[in-house]
Amino acid sequence: MSNAVITAVAAGSPAAEAGVRVGDELRTISGRPVRDVIEYRVLGDEPDVDLEIRRGEVDLVVEVRKAAGVPLGIEVDSPLFDGIRTCDNHCEFCFIYQLPPGMRRSLYVKDDDYRLSFLYGNFTTLTRFTEADLERVVVEGLSPLYVSIHATDPAVRSDLLRNRRGATSLRWLRALLDHGVEVHGQVVVCPGLNDGPVLADTLCGVLDEYPEIADLAVVPLGVSDHNPEPRMRPHTRDEALAVVRTVEAARDVFRSVLGRPVVFAADEYYLLAGLPFPAADEYGEFSMHEDGIGMARAFELEFTGARSEVIGVQPGFFASVDGAPATGYRAPRGEPAAAGSQGAGSAAVPASLGVPGSPAVPVGILTGEMGARVIEPLVATLGRSDIRVIPVVNRFFGGNIGVSGLMVGQDLAEVLSREPEGHRYLLPDVCLSRGAFLDGVRPEDLPRPVEVIPTDGRSLRAALESGPDGGDRRAEQVGP
């Protein structure tokens, strides 16, 4: 087990007063080895803790005197100190298998770690889950968790995961629900494999066997040009329409039996099928926002000001690999964010979204092809001719990949090289991780300056209603 490296120490904090420094390696807290940031939080909450640290070649014990519940005031470099529990499934639709070669090594790590499910909302299949894991989840209250279901038929699920344990691992889902753990589920639909009658059977199986589940997202698989699996292909329009109809029929049954809708189809299905999105109130509190459920309606509410707060967070693709704990931990303690960590749309919002007039400089909104279909009708309501939505075709991944979070620098550079100089170009921060795109390009490397803004409707509206040098601006302009 490697040691956690301390990346930040808050001035005046108990750790700072005790002499802890940036660069120290945290070995134990009060004599107990620390496996991950979850244990670090729990043990660090105790009063008067002793930190065993390594400073260079010297091992030290630092006595930290503080009251119970007071944060230590340090941030560490990784969420897991004992390493990521990797996935031993071989799902044909796994996006890790579809990444182009030559990217940074961390992006090719497949995890099936329940701790990352709790910390970042990653989905786990539970095929590597154990009795000891269940005990820890229950005792430490690691809730909510996110579970990939895909199919409730044991043979179908085992085939989809290409792992015989897939046929039995949903027993852990039953155990989690029995112990009161909040669980959000997901079904990735692969045409010809778990759609049609299999999907209908899965939804019936969830209602019958796991009715306590908080909600269930039905999402389409992403198929890049690098997918090596012959059975994997994008949905046709008719297949997308059939999925929506199946989900909506099941939602009516769930609502009738349980009093809540439970199951939702991803926004992408409605775009593929050419159907209007469900009404905003169908999504409740948008609990599956980060899984592409209700994102379009949430963005609309934010853009129009119908909701005063930002809905959901956008930590960036592969945040659990690249992000520091502060970006994804579900119980922030007011400690300093680690160097390089990425914000999640929390910048201050102007008090009014109704500022009259328009900046003189034309504005281009950079977004993925799917995002463009959501943003264009909203921008049209402003009645301004100086704003353009610029869809960025994802040639880096290819296939049916069109989400904004997977935009990369080389595709953006190609688009911007054809755009006029002197315009403002707005870029959502969801496509950045530690200040870089997935292909390693950084915003300052692009051929035109861009303004990086949080990925939510309020931030976009605020950026459109302020000039590039506005006093209440929420964007950071970077570029050559």
Contact (CB, 8 A) for 111 and 117? no
The angle that helices 457-464 and 369-380 make with each other, rounded to 10 degrees, is 60
The pLDDT value recorded for residue 158 is 97
For residue 22, count other CB atoms closer than 10 A to its CB. Answer: 13
Least Cα distance to 81 among 24, 26, 29, 160 occurs for 26
In tens, the pLDDT along 126-164 reads 999 999 999 999 999 999 999 999 999 999 999 999 999
The pLDDT value recorded for residue 214 is 96
Contact (CB, 8 A) for 40 and 92? no
The pLDDT value recorded for residue 467 is 66
Decide if pLDDT at 475 tops 90: no
Residue 127 CB burial class (10 angstroms; 0-12, 13-18, ≥19): buried
Strand partners, 372: none
The pLDDT value recorded for residue 1 is 60
pTM for the predicted model, two decimal places: 0.85
For residue 124, give the DSSP letter: B
How distant, in Å, are the alpha carbons of 203, 219, 297 from that of 270? 19, 11, 12
Residue 299 CB burial class (10 angstroms; 0-12, 13-18, ≥19): buried
For the record, the structure tokens of 144 come out as: 């909510």
Decide if pLDDT at 315 tops 90: no
CA 360, 365, 371: angle at the middle one, nearest 5?
150
In tens, the pLDDT along 108-131 reads 888 889 998 988 888 999 999 999
In tens, the pLDDT along 184-194 reads 999 999 999 99
